[in-house]
Amino acid sequence: MTDLRKLLAVSPGTFQLADVDPRSTPGLPGDKAAKKDPKAWSGERVAEIGVELAAYQEKLFAAAKEGDSRRRVLLLLQAMDCGGKDGTVSKVLAAMNPTGIEAVSFGAPTDEEKSHDFLWRIERALPPAGHVGVFNRSQYEDVLIVRVHDLVPEPEWSQRYQRINDFEAAQASDGLTIVKVMLHISKDEQKQRLLDRLADPAKRWKYNPGDVDERGRWDDYQAAYQDALTKCSTPDNPWYVVPADRKWYRNWAVASLLRAAMADVDPGYPAPGYDVATEQARVAAT
């Protein structure tokens, strides 16, 4: 089977975001089920992967609880508005134990956060040992929206790429595995999703009139993403760009990327600190 990570990883020297078709399905298996009904196939596969993810999560948590591991995993999601971050999390992590998940959504920084370095709030939100973290937006907002809206001078935000790389490298050395995913949607798909929100009373709460203003800066955001992806995709902490116009493909691809990362981490269950046979005899005697 094709290694999806190789297909979706950003290669800094050659990658062009504009060349990625948001409706494409890289790595989609060629079997009959996937071709005949891809949505149903994806749903079944994501559910199957979810069972594997839950098993990896349990071992990760058990190893940390016994003090055998500092390992933890962070799924970092970035996207344009309506890119599907929330939907991805709900589908991909559905089978995991909620007590082992640390999910954080980053909005505009608070006054307290503004009084610190831009990475301060990020470091505070990292998952503890044995946990799976989810970042809905991240430190990359400080080279995306900050750049597009000219919130800080260019000499300041332009230095942040290397600072982010250094930060992520330090966290990796401390046991953090980061799966960085950009959910890449087209401008037309974003427009349709905004219209869908307005058409559905149950989804209107998710609509923000400011999203329309942001659409006017689409090209600026694409340029900002291009630099963030290429400047901060490193061998130890690569970026993956997932075509996300097709939600069923998005879910399968992100689930597959996360499974591959957790399989690499997999610490295994810790050895018990007691003699199993002795404890079996003691329990049987009660």
What is the reported pLDDT for 158?
97
Summarize pLDDT for 235-244 with one digit per residue, the tens.
999 999 999 9
- The whole-number average pLDDT for the span 162-191 is 98
Strand partners, 178: 74
Query: Rounded to an integer, what distance in angstroms lies between the CA atom of residue 279 and that of residue 53?
Result: 30
pTM metric for this prediction: 0.95
Give the mean model confidence (pLDDT) for residues 33-61: 94
| 228 domain residue, yes or no | yes
Strands (E) located in the chain: 72-79, 101-105, 132-136, 176-184, 239-243
203 occurs within a structural domain: no
User: Which amino acid is located at 6 in the chain?
Assistant: K
Query: What's the CA gap between 188 and 59, in Å, rounded?
Result: 42
Token pair for 22: 């948001």
Check residue 9 and report its DSSP letter. Answer: B
Encoding tokens for residue 227? Answer: 């630099």
Among candidate residues 140, 262, 249, the one with its CA nearest the CA of residue 184: 249
Q: Is residue 105 assigned to a domain?
A: yes
Would residue 197 count as lying in a domain?
Answer: no
pLDDT at 2: 62
pLDDT, tens digit, 9 for 90 and up, residues 246-257: 999 999 999 999
Position 130 scores a pLDDT of: 95
Look at residue 34 in the predicted model and tell me its pLDDT.
Answer: 87
Give percent above pLDDT 90 in the chain.
91
Domain count of the chain? 1
271: domain range?
Answer: 4-187+218-284
Residue 158 falls inside a structural domain: yes
Per DSSP, the three-state class of 78 is: strand
Judge whether 199 lies within some domain: no
The pLDDT confidence band at residue 183, using thresholds 50, 70 and 90, is: very high
In a domain, residue 196? The reply is no
| Residue 171, domain CATH | 3.40.50.300
pLDDT at 1: 45
The confidence score (pLDDT) of residue 136 equals: 97
Mean pLDDT of the chain: 95
Percentage of the chain modeled with pLDDT above 70? 99
Please check whether residue 212 lies inside any domain of the structure. Answer: no
| DSSP structure class, residue 274 | S
What are φ and ψ of residue 60, in 5° steps? -60, -45
- Tell me which residue has tokens 């974003």: 190
